[in-house]
Structure 1
């Protein structure tokens, strides 16, 4: 009996934990601790299943699994918390018509229909204090529903923003060498146009992912919509522009690189740890074949050696998305002038 009289304490803790997590996750202040605890095992299970079955398409379900898992955990923990509170005192709830004290399953049933404010009325609290707690239970259920909606909507918007940016990068060239070559020959404003086109989108995405970092556990089915391959390709392209091309860098390049660095910092918060080895150095052959002015190979190697830690994070991002680094570097179909012959030359893709 003494133990039962103290059950209100763990019940109150469960209710408070859920409310604090709701505030942290729904007010766009980052990822609540409870949400993070829910996401990690669910995400690991989706990743393991995708590896076991060798079906990358399963990763596209990660977002749905995480969202449903989070909402289910919030509801069940709040439900259990309020049930423990009402179970603390025998006879706090009785049958409305019979006056029979409710057992634990009756209490679960009562809390279950009170939280969504259904108010069926076949059970009722006896004393004024328990009646007030019934009101608080209904209010908590209303808050839970409201904040769950405010949690889902920004996540959906940020996920759409990720896809828009990934598609834009894909259409600007898709891969590292493809982005550089396309910008050099086909963009109306050259390399400067590539930087200008993406600067605002990267800043907006950086802000969204700082508010909802759990999106780094979401994946898309199609590679052209996947940030896990487009962002590494873009950063590798910007590294080539800055360190491999023998040409003045476009204005704003450092600012764009800083935005990507901020995105990678958020990624490291969600996925700590990186591969032991960095990805291979980029193949400059497609750029050389396209007639772009390049610096010496040794100079490029030294510059990319200084980017080892950054490129390890990008490699980890690519692998978590179910891709290979070769897909980051491959040259998409593109047509560019052959400076030696004055005709066009096409570089074909080698996509896996």
Structure 2
């Protein structure tokens, strides 16, 4: 047993190293660390299961505090345990400041806790130079953990504000793919350009945020007006309809707007994983024709949409992840009847 105890510094060192690498990958590099991804996927799967079983989308609205708290708790717990194993591996590495007796395991755990938090209470000390230096390194790693925890949290708030700005703009312009087109065409001073050029800036911000922090795709909102996983698929479907069915020249910026939607759908699929659902039903063009839009035939649109089947499947997966049906994504404009819903199931 004493020999085994002296080897505990190895798993302890590996735990500390794993946390530091995970922090740097998650907070500095574009992506998320393996530890953070594992925790997020487990917690998100549990929330999604509760929401599906209960039929309450509100459970998904807890994803932001639950996932962020899960990351912080995981990083802190693993670093705390790692340093505890390192100091506990050598008997006599820590002693009581008053008694001079070797610290127990619980006392070592306590010492590591206040060292990582940089409190420096001094109730337990390291009598030998090597362990004093390691105490300093542990305190620095604790400061490192605190700094990167702030770096992890702050961008999420800004990204969520940008997501809500985009979702709210699309909600008020639609909601729903066909409503976005009809309302832009009939009730906006810039016409269809309101779906392309006017959205470029916020689309690029949201796209860049999700490329840097892909786990944003797991953060859900309860209210429909804030739900990017409802309105982004609607925008993507609307842009595909315009590109594939509109006669004449398409609005300027349409392809750039669609490229941003496609990029967001790709980072969503990379983050969520799993098999993609079948492509959604063909859109019903009748409400758009009634609104006066010059459109090609349904057959021409269907041929075009087959070329973009993967994008439509990713958009459908995104809406399903938020527990939205495709009928809600592709709903027709108010006053256009139910033709758009008659062919759009979940």
TM-score, structure 1 normalization: 0.93
The answer for the alignment partner of 1:104 in structure 2 is 105
Q: Which residue of 2 aligns with 1:347?
A: 336
Residue 216 (structure 2) aligns with = 215
Q: Indicate if the aligned counterparts of 1:38 and 1:69 stay in contact, CA closer than 8 A.
A: yes
How far apart are residue 282 of structure 1 and its match?
0.7
Report the counterpart of residue 291 of structure 1 in structure 2.
292
C-alpha displacement at 1:247, in angstroms?
3.5
Shift, 1:262, TM fit: 1.3
Q: Structure 2: state its 5+ residue gaps.
A: none
Q: Once structures 1 and 2 are overlaid, which stretch shifts more, 43-52 or 240-249?
A: 240-249
Mapped partners of 1:95, 1:44: distance in 2: 45
Following superposition, the deviation at residue 297 of structure 1 comes to 1.7
CA distance in 2, matches of 1:194, 1:215: 23
Aligned counterpart, 1:267: 268
1:281 aligned residue: 282
Q: Which residue of 2 aligns with 1:313?
A: 314
Instruction: Write out per-residue CA displacement over residues 192-234 of structure 1, whole angstroms, 9 at most, x where no aligned residue.
Output: 2321111121111111101100011110011111110111100
Q: Secondary structure at the match of 1:347?
A: coil
Name whichever of 68-77 and 33-42 sits farther off. 33-42
Distance 1:82 1:63 in 2: 29
| Residue 41, structure 1, aligned to residue 42, structure 2 | yes
Q: Distance in 2 between matches of 1:81 and 1:274?
A: 37
Q: Is the 8 A contact 2:94 2:126 kept in 1?
A: yes
Aligned residues: 340
- State the Cα distance separating 1:38 from its structure 2 match: 1.1
Alignment correspondent of 1:326: 327
**Counterpart-to-counterpart distance in 1, 2:277 and 2:254:** 28
Kindly indicate whether the alpha-carbon contact (under 8 Å) linking 1:27 and 1:151 is maintained by their aligned counterparts in 2: no
Q: Indicate conservation of the 8 Å contact 2:63/2:218, yes or no.
A: yes
Residues 48-96 of structure 1: CA deviation (Å, up to 9, x unaligned): 1111111111000011111000000000000000000100110111111
Mapped to 1, the partners of 2:32 and 2:20 lie a distance apart of 13
Structure 1 stretches of 4+ moved >4 Å: 348-352
> Are the equivalent residues in 1 in contact too, given 2:12–2:84 (CA < 8 A)?
yes
Alignment correspondent of 1:78: 79
Is 1:191 the counterpart of 2:204? The answer is no
- Secondary structure (helix, strand or coil) at the match of 1:330 reads coil
1:159 equivalent to 2:148? Answer no
- Does structure 2 conserve the Cα–Cα contact (< 8 Å) formed by 1:274 and 1:313? no
Unaligned runs of 5+ in 1: 334-345
How many angstroms does 1:331 deviate by?
Answer: 2.3
Match of 1:336 in 2: none
* Conservation of the 8 A alpha-carbon contact between 1:274 and 1:312: no
Deviations 1:7-56 (A, max 9, x none): 11111111111111111112252211111111111111111111111111
Q: Say whether the 8 Å CA contact 2:176–2:328 is kept in structure 1.
A: yes
The secondary structure found in structure 2 opposite 1:269 is: helix
